[in-house]
Amino acid sequence: SQELEQSPQSLIVQEGKNLTINCTSSKTLYGLYWYKQKYGEGLIFLMMLQKGGEEKSHEKITAKLDEKKQQSSLHITASQPSHAGIYLCGAAPGTYKYIFGTGTRLKVLA
């Protein structure tokens, strides 16, 4: 079965710093979803990547799916306290069931 591993598990950065979160799959990805969860809330959809080499940006967050389609990275530029939360990657490996990564807990110090 396919598994998604995220790194790092947790991250504390100073406001204004850049950071990268990685999501590595044990098998080829045919669609990769990034979500953000604020503490005590549901998941908010951020971006979806489908094609190898694809890159998408929204405000200061950029996500990329590598050419071999087994890893995705999420990059935040000039982090702000509002970026704090848990970032989760998800994939639907050919069926309806999602698998989710282990999550990366981000804290941004003001």
Partner 1 sequence: GAGVSQSPSNKVTEKGKDVELRCDPISGHTALYWYRQSLGQGLEFLIYFQGNSAPDKSGLPSDRFSAERTGGSVSTLTIQRTQQEDSAVYLCASSWRSGGAVAKNIQYFGAGTRLSVL
Interface residues with partner 1 (CB under 8 A) are: 30-31, 33, 35, 40-45, 48, 50, 88, 90, 92, 94-98, 100-103
User: At its nearest, how many Å lie between partner 1 and the CB of residue 103?
Assistant: 6
Q: Between residues 96 and 110, which has the closer beta carbon with respect to partner 1?
A: 96
Cβ atoms of 73 and 55 closer than 8 Å: no
Least separation in angstroms between CB 30 and partner 1: 7
Q: Which two tokens stand for residue 86?
A: 């848990």
Q: Which is nearer to partner 1, 79 or 90 (CB)?
A: 90
Nearer to partner 1, 85 or 101 (CB): 101
Cα separation, 106 vs 61, whole angstroms: 13
Identity at 63, one-letter amino acid code: A
CA distance 47 to 57: 8
Q: Record the tokens describing residue 71, joined without a space.
A: 């890893």
CB-nearer residue toward partner 1: 13 or 48: 48
Q: Tell the smallest beta-carbon distance from residue 81 to partner 1 (Å).
A: 21
The one-character DSSP state at 36 is E
